[in-house]
Amino acid sequence: MGRQPTQVHFLPARVARALVTHGADDVVVGPFCVVGPLVRIGRGTVLTNSVTVVGKVTIGEGNKIFPGAVIGGDPQDLKYKGEPTRLVIGRGNTFRECVTIHRGTMGGGGETRIGDRNLFMAYAHVAHDCVIADRVIMTNNVMLGGHVTVGERAFLGGGSAVHQFCRIGRIAMVGGMARIVQDVVVGPIPTTCWTGPSTPPARSCARPA
């Protein structure tokens, strides 16, 4: 028997079914964006081009999302079986190229939450059930495991990786390429963090917030 021809399903380059906030005439969805039917977009938000927003996602006002970003993807958790979890994004955030933000899982409350005025530089990753406060800066290639909490105005240096369930405190600074396997809390008690496989732990005595 001859080989059966491959069935190829071509999807339209742009699928925009999102519910846009009433009166939000200034929302921009650029070319080659894919936007799912459960997405809600607030006024002034811009999807530049080649952006994917899927799942149950609420995006507030004045956000800007750059090419290659995937917002609201399925959580990378083997326990996830397609439950209707969600991602909630506040106002004035910037998501640079190829940023990935995943929805929550039922085991983590069903929600990933992003606050206001945060900057996610290229290739940053926020896993399921994370909670990001306001004015946080995640530089290039920062990776957050599931259930991580990041406090207001925290700064995470390039290539740093945060283990699941860890907490990064308010105004904390994490150096580039750091490996975080425990809470980093700014306060009177010194915090010890491993910064690499061959680097001894560095103690930081930050002043109380």
Quick: pLDDT tens for 23-71. 667 899 988 999 999 999 999 999 999 999 999 999 999 999 999 999 9
Catalytic site residue 128? yes
Rounded distance between C-alpha atoms, residue 45 and residue 36, angstroms: 16
Confidence of residue 186 (pLDDT cuts 50, 70, 90): confident
- Expressed in percent and rounded to 5, the helix, strand and coil fractions of the chain are 0, 35, 65
pTM: 0.84
Catalytic site residue 129? yes
According to CATH, what is the number of the domain 15-76+83-204? 2.160.10.10
Residue 7 to residues 4, 10, 204, Cα–Cα distance (Å):
9, 10, 58
Report pLDDT for 10.
44
- The active-site residue, picked from 44, 115, 129, 145, is 129
Catalytic site residue 163? no
Report pLDDT for 21.
62
Confidence of residue 9 (pLDDT cuts 50, 70, 90): very low
Confidence of residue 205 (pLDDT cuts 50, 70, 90): very low
Both tokens assigned to 156: 């995470």
Report pLDDT for 203.
45
Confidence of residue 19 (pLDDT cuts 50, 70, 90): low
Domain positions in the chain: 15-76+83-204
Within 8 A by CB and 6+ apart from 86, the residues are 55, 56, 57, 58, 103, 104, 110, 111, 112
- The active-site residue, picked from 102, 125, 128, 147, is 128
